[in-house]
Structure 1
Amino acid sequence: MDSRHPRRLLRTSTTALAAAGLILSGCTGGSDAAAPAGATSAVSQAGPAASAAPTTPDPALRSFYAQKLTWRECGTPKFQCATLRAPLDYAKPAAGEIKLAVSRVAATGPGKRLGSLLVNPGGPGGSAVGYLQGFAGIGYPVQVRARYDMVAVDPRGVARSEPVECLTGPQMDSFTQVDQTPDDGAETTALTAAFKGFAAGCAKRSGQVLPHVSTVETARDMDILRAVLGDERLNYVGASYGTFLGATYAELFPGRVGRLVLDGAMDPSLPAVDLARDQTAGFETAFRAFAADCVQKPDCPLGTESADAASGNLKAFFRTVDAEPVPTGESRRLGESLATTGVIAAMYDEGAWPQLREALTRAMGGEGAGLLALADSYYEREADGTYTNLMFANTAVNCLDLPAAYTGPQDVERAVPSFEKASPVFGEGLAWAALNCSSWPVPATGRPHRITAAGAAPIVVVGTTRDPATPYKWAQSLADQLSSGTLLTYEGDGHTAYGRGSDCIDSAINTYLLDGTPPTAGKRCT
């Protein structure tokens, strides 16, 4: 597979410094949760008890499980599209529906067809349909595409599936430029007001869907899709946040788990503030790898002395543009928030390091267009000034899945030292970024908890040792939690591992998807 395919798989729970990757709220950053299907209780992500799902859907859900998809051409050769119906509220299935966009490309053969393989690129907020049509459906290994129908569904609230909307393009431009490292009370007030305004915009423009975009609900939608496609078990490859979605499915429906690959894993047992702090440390690890590479080059804009010195020079640059943003060739200027987002965006793939070096060189010389372009790719800002709904959905899902990291600015101020210890460069900004859910208009329905998925078939969990957005220890933890989890390790840089250039990783995962044989315990690849 092409290791340069576009994936901004995980964003932090902070839209403002969304540079952090979405996960937690938050991962995470640039290119889209409640009782099991048979239960009648209110939506909940409380945990292990949800595994006791009846095998026959509640009668109120039968019409959804029995529906027939009407496939149609959808403008991309060889791909078909359809609309899946699901309850807006699983606690009240008859009260209304939500329509979800589905796409597929048929197995190419030869060989016995293995059913459907559902893919999700992460986010939350990433378009799975866009990912399928733009990469997975044509870029996954030919032997996998030969045996599986490749399928994707945009999660509820994402892209083509009744998307969450919050701000206009100009409003989002203003939001992304708000100072994320407040120096005084006025700047703290401005940042807090920005988060409140973002939340109010979501409530105003998407109030009906906002309480119903949790990961548990999306996992339940996936089970309806599994049944409608005619598969007894779910086969699935989820990256980044998609690992949390896949693990949640396994928790709700362990007996319906087929072959699940969870690449760039999240740890569902951690509260939001711990996830944010761990992710901050992950970006520091990635930056140190970039810096160590950069200082060996004579044109490194951060100097050629050492990684420590490069870190200090980057932080000094951030302070400079905080005080006086630099021009970019358009009305927006490059301040600290956008500059930080641009740097973090390049941490997802070491292939972007040359671009980052050039962008930093130009920005330090007073021309910020390069870093602004990286930041815009992270936020999925279009050339016409509009934005996809990635960041809107990202925040909506994260704030519903976990209680807010903080209740107010005082909590952040107390947390900043521990974040700066995790990352001297990014810590302060990412600590403040995690304040966004404190103003969310809908109470969280999920809680941190361990996922064991007792009784599930073998599940492969993949971790990258220097992953910026999903730290390696999260993969270790999830593999340990899952009763049938097997950890596959990639010793390298970048976010996620499958299809990024390691023949060892790709071979192990392909064998599992095709034969059902998981990697040997403790397998490590380079």
Structure 2
Amino acid sequence: MRKQLLVVLAAATLTATAVPASAEPTVNWGKCPADITSPLLHCASIEVPLDYRNPDGKKISVEISRLSSGIPTKRRGVLLFNPGGPGGTGLTFPLEMFQLGLPASLLAEYDLIGFDPRGVDHSSPVNCDLKPEQLLTIVPKYAHNPAEVVAAAASAKQISQQCAASKSAPVLPYITTANTARDMDQIRAALGEPKISYFGLSYGTYLGGVYASLFPDRTDRVVLDSVLGPDGYDITAARRFGEGMQDRFPDFAKWAAVRDSSYRLGATPAEVTATFSKLADKLDRHPAWGFDGSLFRLATESLIYRDSEFPLVAQLWQTALEDQAPPPGSLPSIGGPIQSQVGTQLSVVCGDHAWPRSISTYQRNVAQDRVAYPLVGGSTANVGPCAYWPTKPIEQPVRFSDRGPSNLLLVQNLRDPATPLSGAQDTREAFGNRARMVTVDQGGHGAVLPYLNSCGFNAAVGYLVHGTRPETDKFCGAETNATRSLTPQQQQAADKIMDRLRQY
């Protein structure tokens, strides 16, 4: 009890260091960084404390963007976005959502606000100085036995040591979800807003939940899409990637079986599943084109985030069967500001929670998950850099609770490969009557995107625009999107959003 009281008092002290609940706007909007060319966006930088326990100490900058409301006289407030990660760039996310098809009614209600979280790209970027070949080893290799867990540990330890020796090392302990949530409150105050509405996707759901827990009375309408469990990216969430792949993979297996005459991957879902195992084992034994079984598994999992990528998955498998180079766009991306994204991702994941440091823990988990989640469980349960992270978390994790305004809407696919339903259900339970959940009968990562399920999309937009939220949890039945076509602009925006999600 005494320990719990100390945690509560510490959280209250950190919350109290934030700026006042309302203030005069202090943002000077201007041009965005040179790599952002849209005239619809304006950008600005604000200064925030590196360490909120020492608010008068070292400052870092956070870059924010704005797509202004179409009808300022009707404007309700600001809608802050986070596209996931951790480590995801967010300056252009409001523009991408606008291009994808947000309705005019929502654009009239809010200024859309994006930001690069601390440590990412334009916001005081961090860098672990990793080599290009290390950037894809953040996700551990698939371990078939205890010895391969030991081998993964050596790689994980090397990455951790490089982060500890980098120029960013003094900053890394402060790149956390709780501090990013406090930055969001600094953004709110700099904009002169008493409250903010929020849309978070994937990891952004955990960030939004942390903000709603630290600053419950400063939240307006909150929508969380593809929901992480209430502890964010801890060891449980890492292992849930294996669960999510098992939930989602049958959708692809059914799709491929129907098209066996075109792709020759199997005439039944069971045969398609056997082909996956055959290819992964083949590449484990004889890597080709720099492409091993672990990368094959990772690429397949990341590509089944949406149905429209199924043909690319099938092409990837065909090239593996024929010992040819993987098709363009099929492997996880390491382009763009990837060093700061990976540095931030490691800092957040390893700094939010203290991870187990015993190799035997990971060996035991791998043995269990290879049976429970055979598609990728040997990888997602394996040891990563957090087991060797050089610093302990600077504070206890923020806990979700049912105390606060009832203003959260969770939207969740039944078969999500990255944030499976079980995690969303845990978050829903943690928030109690503060939240309602809309569960959508579809597969993939991202439930609210407007070209997928109209029921889920309308529930989210209806809440943000009109404040109408289901009185009880709601279920949205399956819909076909076969007749829905995207304009070139919508397709480009969708690709940008999903490519960003696939990097994590």
Same fold (TM over 0.5): yes
Distance 1:178 1:502 in 2: 33
Are 2:357 and 1:407 equivalent residues in the alignment? yes
2:415 matches 1:454: no
TM-score normalised to the size of structure 2?
A: 0.85
| Alignment-derived partner of residue 373 in structure 1 | 329
Report deviation, 1:61: 5.1
> AA paired with 2:455?
C
Matches within 5 A, 1:255-334: 255-269=217-231, 272-299=234-261, 303-327=265-289, 333-334=290-291
- Aligned partner letter, 1:112: K
Q: Which residue of 2 aligns with 1:252?
A: 214
Q: Structure 2 counterpart of 1:519, which letter?
A: P
Equivalent position amino acid for 1:195 in 2: A
Are the counterparts in 2 of residues 47 and 451 from structure 1 also a CA contact under 8 Å?
Answer: no
Q: 1:410 to 1:477 in 2, by over 3 A?
A: closer
In structure 2, the CA distance between the partners of 1:101 and 1:173, relative to structure 1 (3 Å rule), is: closer
**Paired residues, what number?**
467
Distance 2:7 2:196 in 1: 20
Structure 1 residue 213 corresponds to structure 2 residue 179? no
More off after superposition, 118-127 vs 200-209: 200-209
- Aligned with residue 68 of structure 1, among 8, 20, 26: 26
- Which residue in 1 is equivalent to 2:308? 351
2:285, 2:11 → 1: CA distance? 53
Distance 1:511 1:198, change over 3 A: same
Supply the AA of the counterpart residue of 1:520.
Answer: E
Shift of the 176–369 alpha-carbon distance from structure 1 to 2, 3 Å rule, reads farther
Question: Are the aligned partners of 2:279 and 2:317 in contact in 1 as well (CA < 8 Å)?
Answer: no
Alignment pair present for 1:464 and 2:413? yes
Q: Percent identity?
A: 29
Displacement of 1:311: 2.1
Select which of 312, 317, 336 maps to 2:293.
336
Describe the superposition over 1:243-290 as per-residue Cα deviations: whole angstroms up to 9, x where unpaired: 111111111111111000011111115883322222211111111221
What's the RMSD between the two structures over aligned residues?
2.9
- How big is each residue's C-alpha offset from its partner over 1:23-78, in whole Å with a ceiling of 9 and x where there is no partner? xxxxxxxxxxxxxxxxxxxxx999766775799x54x9579976711211223212
Find the partner of 2:344 among 370, 393, 397: 393
In 2 relative to 1, CA 45–156 (structure 1 residues): closer, same or farther, beyond 3 Å?
A: farther
> Matched residue of 1:479: which SS?
helix
Q: Structure 1 residues 305, 169: closer, same or farther in 2, change over 3 A? A: same
TM-score by length of 1: 0.81
Contact 1:270 1:448 in 2 (8 A): no
Q: CA deviation at 1:439?
A: 0.9
Instruction: Indicate how the Cα distance of structure 1 residues 174 and 506 shifts in structure 2: closer, same or farther if over 3 A, else same.
Output: closer
Give the SS at the match of 2:112. Answer: strand
What are the Cα deviations for residues 223-242 of structure 1, in whole angstroms up to 9, with x where unaligned? 11111112111100001111
Tell me which residue corresponds to 1:41.
none
Secondary structure, aligned partner of 1:486: strand
| Corresponding position of 2:108 | 146
1:443 is matched with 392
- 1:162-177 paired onto structure 2 within 5 Å: 162-172=124-134, 175=137
Q: CA deviation at 1:524?
A: 1.5
Deviation at 1:193, TM superposition (A): 2.3
1:196 aligned onto 2:174: no
After TM superposition, give the deviation of residue 143 of structure 1 in Å.
1.9
Q: Hey, what does 1:480 align to over in structure 2?
A: 429
Measured in 2, the distance between the counterparts of 1:174 and 1:507 equals 37
Q: How does 1:478-517 map to 2 (within 5 A)?
A: 478-482=427-431, 483-499=433-449, 500-517=451-468
Distance 1:301 1:48, change over 3 A: farther
Q: 1:337 to 1:451 in 2, by over 3 A?
A: same
Q: Could you give the per-residue CA deviations for residues 188-228 of structure 1, whole angstroms, max 9, x where no partner exists? A: 55422221221122221311220111111111111111111
Does residue 123 in structure 1 map to residue 80 in structure 2? no
Spell out, residue by residue over 1:450-476, the C-alpha distance to the aligned partner (whole angstroms, 9 max, x if none): 512512242101111001111112222
C-alpha displacement of 1:114: 0.9
Residues 1:360 and 2:310 aligned together: no
Judged with a 3 Å threshold, the aligned counterparts in structure 2 of structure 1 residues 243 and 179 are, in CA distance, closer, same or farther, namely closer
Query: Within 2, Cα distance between the matches of 1:90 and 1:270?
Result: 21
Aligned match of 1:132 in 91, 94, 105?
94
Checking the alignment, whether the CA contact within 8 Å between 1:300 and 1:357 is kept in structure 2 is: no
The 1-side partners of 2:222 and 2:416 are apart by: 20
Deviates more, 1:44-53 or 1:141-150: 44-53
Q: Point out where structure 1 has 5 or more consecutive residues left out of the alignment.
A: 1-43, 328-332
Question: Does 2:202 match 1:240?
Answer: yes
Residue pair 2:78, 2:110 contacting (<8 A) in 1 also: yes
2:376 to 397, 407, 426: 426
CA–CA separation in structure 1 for the residues paired with 2:6 and 2:420: 24
Provide the rounded CA distance (Å) in 2 between the counterparts of 1:495 and 1:388: 24
